[in-house]
Amino acid sequence: MEGELYVYDQAVERLREREYPMLKGQTYLDHAGTTLYAKSTIERFSADMMANLYGNPHSASISSQLSTRRVEDIRLRLLSLFNADPEVFDVVFVANATAGIKMVMEAFRDQEERFWYGYHKDAHTSLVGVREAANEHRCFASDREVQEWIDDSERPLTPGLFAYPAQSNMNGRRLPLDWSRRIRESKQNVVYTLLDAASLVSTAPLDLACPEGAPDFTVLSLYKMFGFPDLGALVLRKDAGRVFDKRRYFGGGTVEMVVCLKEQWHARKAESLHERLEDGTLPIHSIIALDAAMTVQEQLFGSFEKISTHTAFLAAKLYEGLSALRHTNTTPVCEIYKDPTSTYGDSKSQGPIVAFNIRNHLGGWVSNAELEKISAVKNFHLRTGGLCNPGGVAASLGLAPWEMKENFSAGQRCGSDNDIIRAKPTGMIRVSLGAMSTLKDVSLFIDFMREFFVQEAPPTPFSPVISLYHEPPTRRLLRVESLSIYPIKSCAAWHVPPGKAWEVRREGLAWDREWCLVHQGTGAALSQKRYPKMALIRPCIDLDQGVLRIRLAGGLQTATKAAEICVPLSADPRLFLDGDMYKTVSTKVCGDTIQAKTYKSKDISDFFTQALGVACHLARFPAVGNGAGTASIRHSKPHLQKPQISGKMHIPGAFPEAPRVSTCAVVSKPILLSNESPILTISRSSLNRLNELIKAEGGKAAQAEVFRANIVVAENLDCPPGAEQPYAEDEWRYLQIGDQYFEMLGPCRRCQMVCIDQHTAERDQEPFVTLSKTRRFDGKVFFGEHTSHLPMSNVSSPTAQNPTISVGDPVWAFEDGEAEQDTRLQGLVD
């Protein structure tokens, strides 16, 4: 038996090369989201479309007749896949499983009487929502509660609907399929049953051969079974069709005759349920594609029984592998949310889905967001978060309703970074398998988990890299190696020429992120994460001409009509030009809505649109006060405020927990400004150290620009070889650069955006992989320091009124406790 399973697995591995070319180099583990379509399906569908003339069904023409015939044949074929007798069952094509659920919900809502609704806690969000239409509803918290309710012969007085998933989309647990029969018997047709089979049928057969035992309504998503087409189905027992008798709506396709003018009358189609329920034109081409998908699926995999056996085998290996992962202190790495009643490998009780969270070696939770970032870099595709399963997730994580509400008000949303609240995870990681998954996918994922999440070192809060600089802190003389600004958010850096004194403002270096590109449709600011080619847009500040000049690099050079474009640096060019060159629009930058001014010029918009291949405008952040003197200034660039790092931010476990702020009484006032992080500083020594590690593993060294640093600080040129102090900045509290003072606000948390090569716009896995192995603390990856300028008022010297810094300036770093002793810091006030 084992042997056969391996043989089948190898066969899948071989057909994958040919049939799933999109999987090359990728590990796809989100089949519960959608599975993948085979190349042959698309080819077969395409050939069918080319060879035949398909019209809108229900007319007399040959092309229309052909469509009708095909749709009816495919309907029958789908029923037979579930052994459903067409005398007893009908199929209604819908957009997706949710649309099928809504169709059933509407029928109950249209009843004259009230209706009762019961659902199991493992229900998908789409099932839970039905309760909003019911007059009375109940969430069953366990199978036992359902059994007891079934055994109780009391029936509701009003019609009822009981809904549950055949398989939990959260952890793949399979629920009993005999509830429909038992409810029908016990509740004597007062309570109907709705089975959500969307998750189950993607990897398992569903047998409706016995009408007495079948649910009244079964919904499923065909894309979850075949990867394509995007279509859902509602399979109904014709007996239960009477609930649709009270249906109020009619549309084209579901009505025979309609009288509108002097009288209001219509005659509904009466023949079949699907004719009564399929309003409007059917998705005929998708239905035709379903035929191809079913044929190809059968050719490739045999049957859903085979798929079920294969995926159960893989899931057992996956579960065993994840359960066996231990930190070197023997504590488990994965907390797996398995139902106690189910067994991996047993396809009756368990589908091929594993839901879990990761713990560190001290038992603390690792953020899902970090796993997501590393997976993105390593080409693993999985799902994290609330998984559209509110009851299952809350029960598994032990989240009480008040906690969920608290978390919501604390800013937790589906897909947010901040997923561990009050030391509890708010979501989980889901890995799911499908027909074309193989043992190789499973072992790649387990190796990945071992590589990044198993802590091999004995329990010590110091990573080997960090512990290197345990010499007594000495104040070292450093220098500014380079100054960079990013005039357009997420586009290339522009380097301040050596010797040029560059203005430092409260909101950062002059002209840094003064502009951004916004999507013409959504108004959201574009970022390199989604549009890596932005790295090839090269803005340049031309102070002589008073313009921002934008040129393109690499492959973009031929993309636009104009070779370059210029906009005036002056914020209010109305003084020099006719008319207003901006229009004000609501823009979303890093989640905050602000009013930005977009350039009206079609030439400007065309330039960027052609360069990136996405319809966008250039926008400018609204003018800000000129810094000095205005006490409560909050600059208008939310992307610079975003890190919101307080002066007390430490890397937990790796940095001394010294009460930094209170020991620095002298400079406590300027910290008021520090909820903004206008400047990012990195250290050349740290970058060199990082690159040594990357190169030692054969990886590609990182450029300073990928970190979007403004200031690169380097050891002095006379620093003896080997005396560099990488990551000394972790301890820095203040910097003096030339005549100016800066406060270090805390380390900068990193994501996979650092992997975009700023010269080619190509993605790599470095430096994120090495960073996440050497600079990950408490589940977060750090590199570089948020920094803000400390302005000096009361001082009327030019250096206080018009602060500047230059490339080559000397830099002194102050660590904790050094600052208050230093008389030079005495001049700092708010």
98 scored as a contact of ligand PLP (CB under 6 A): yes
Q: At what angle do helices 2-19 and 439-453 cross, to 10 degrees?
A: 90
For ligand PLP, which is the closer residue by CB, 165 or 321?
Answer: 165
Segment interacting with ligand PLP, rule: CB under 6 A, options 90-98, 347-355, 390-398, 579-587: 90-98
308 lies in the binding site for ligand PLP (CB under 6 A):
no
Distance CA 623, CA 805 (A): 22
| Residue 516 is a catalytic residue | no
User: Are 749 and 777 a contacting pair, CB within 8 Å?
Assistant: no
Q: Which of 40, 67, 68, 96 binds ligand PLP (CB under 6 A)?
A: 96
- Is residue 283 at the binding interface for ligand PLP, with CB under 6 A as the rule? no
Q: Does 169 bind ligand PLP (CB under 6 A)?
A: yes
Q: At residue 769, what is the residue type?
A: V
Closest CA to 430 of 587, 570, 535, 315: 315
Residue 218 vs 740, nearer CB to ligand PLP:
218
CB atoms within 10 A of CB 116: 21
Give the nearest distance from C-beta 119 to ligand PLP in angstroms.
11
Residue 339 touching ligand PLP (CB under 6 A): no
198 binds ligand PLP (CB under 6 A): yes
Which position among 44, 124, 786, 789 is part of the footprint of ligand PLP (CB under 6 A)?
124
199 binds ligand PLP, rule: CB under 6 A: yes
The answer to whether 823 and 814 are in contact (CB under 8 A) is no
The DSSP result for 68-106, as a single string, is HHHHHHHHHHHHHHTT--TTTEEEEEESSHHHHHHHHHH
Taking CB under 6 A as the binding criterion, the range among 194-202, 339-347, 525-533, 667-675 that sits at the site for ligand PLP is 194-202
- Of 232 and 321, the one with the shorter C-beta distance to ligand PLP is 232
For residue 218, give both structure tokens: 């079964």
CB of 304 to ligand PLP, least distance (A): 16
Q: What is the CA radius of gyration of the chain?
A: 32
805, 502 contact by CB (below 8 A): yes
Interactions with ligand PLP, residue window 495-524 (CB under 6 A):
none
Nearer to ligand PLP, 97 or 284 (CB): 97
Counting contacts by CB under 6 A, is residue 97 touching ligand PLP? yes
The candidate with the shortest Cα–Cα distance to 518, out of 583, 469, 421, 443, is 583
- CB closer to ligand PLP, 282 vs 388: 388
Residue 230-259 contact track with ligand PLP, rule CB under 6 A, x = bound: --x---------------------------
Told to check if 791 binds ligand PLP by CB under 6 A, we report no
DSSP per position, 475-510: --EEEEEEEEE-SBTTS--EEPPTT--EEEETTEET
CB of 173 to ligand PLP, least distance (A): 11
Q: Which amino acid is at 418?
A: N
Identity of the residue, 41 or 126, whose beta carbon is nearer to ligand PLP in the bound complex: 126
As measured in angstroms, the least distance from the Cβ of 152 to ligand PLP is: 27
The four Cα atoms 90, 96, 97, 100 give a dihedral, to 10 degrees, of: -50
To ligand PLP, the closest distance from the beta carbon of 169 in angstroms equals 3
Stretch that binds ligand PLP, among 196-204, 477-485, 532-540, 704-712 (CB under 6 A): 196-204
Is the Cβ of residue 165 or residue 779 nearer to ligand PLP in the bound state? 165
Q: Which of 57, 118, 160, 165 binds ligand PLP (CB under 6 A)?
A: 165
- Cβ proximity to ligand PLP, 165 vs 803, nearer residue: 165
Residue type, 173: R
**Least distance from C-beta 166 to ligand PLP, angstroms?**
8
- Cis upstream peptide for 652 (omega within 30°): no
Token pair 């307080």 is at which residue? 646
Nearer to ligand PLP by Cβ, of 35 and 482: the residue is: 35
User: Which one of 106, 196, 278, 514 is in contact with ligand PLP (CB under 6 A)?
Assistant: 196
| Choices 106-114, 193-201, 398-406, 615-623; region in contact with ligand PLP by CB under 6 A | 193-201
DSSP string, 672-740: GGGG---EEEEEHHHHHHHHHHHHHTT-PPPPGGGGT-SEEEEE-TTPPTT---TTGGGGEEEEEETTE
> Judged by CB, which is closer to ligand PLP: 208, or 612?
208
CA gap 434, 314 in Å, rounded: 9
Q: Which of 41, 67, 68, 126 binds ligand PLP (CB under 6 A)?
A: 126
Looking at 92-100, 288-296, 509-517, 689-697, which segment touches ligand PLP (CB under 6 A)? 92-100
Distance (Å) of CA 60 to CA 55, 64, 288, 327: 10, 6, 20, 70
Please give the Cα distance from 713 to 711 (Å, whole number).
Answer: 6
Angle between the N-to-C axes of helices 2-19 and 284-301, in degrees from 0 to 180, rounded to the nearest 10? 130
# residues contacting ligand PLP (CB under 6 A): 12
Report if residue 286 touches ligand PLP, rule: CB under 6 A: no
Stretch that binds ligand PLP, among 54-62, 71-79, 191-199, 298-306 (CB under 6 A): 191-199
Q: Which residue has the tokens 């647990």?
A: 173
Cα atoms found within 13 Å of the Cα of residue 343, Cβ hemisphere only: 4
Least CB distance to ligand PLP at residue 220 (A): 8
Taking a C-beta distance cutoff of 8 angstroms, is the pair 426, 397 a contact? yes
The stretch among 195-203, 431-439, 461-469, 619-627 that binds ligand PLP (CB under 6 A) is 195-203
The answer to whether 654 and 681 are in contact (CB under 8 A) is no
Q: Indicate which residue of 334, 388, 491, 664 is catalytic.
A: 388
Least separation, in Å, of the C-beta of 337 and ligand PLP?
16
Max intra-chain CA distance, the chain: 98
530-589: which residues touch ligand PLP (CB under 6 A)?
none
- Specify whether the CB–CB gap between 74 and 93 falls below 8 A: no
Contact call for residue 311 and ligand PLP (CB under 6 A): no
Cβ–Cβ < 8 Å for 172, 199: yes
Just list the catalytic residues: 388
Residues that bind ligand PLP (CB under 6 A): 96-98, 124, 126, 165, 169, 196, 198-199, 221, 232
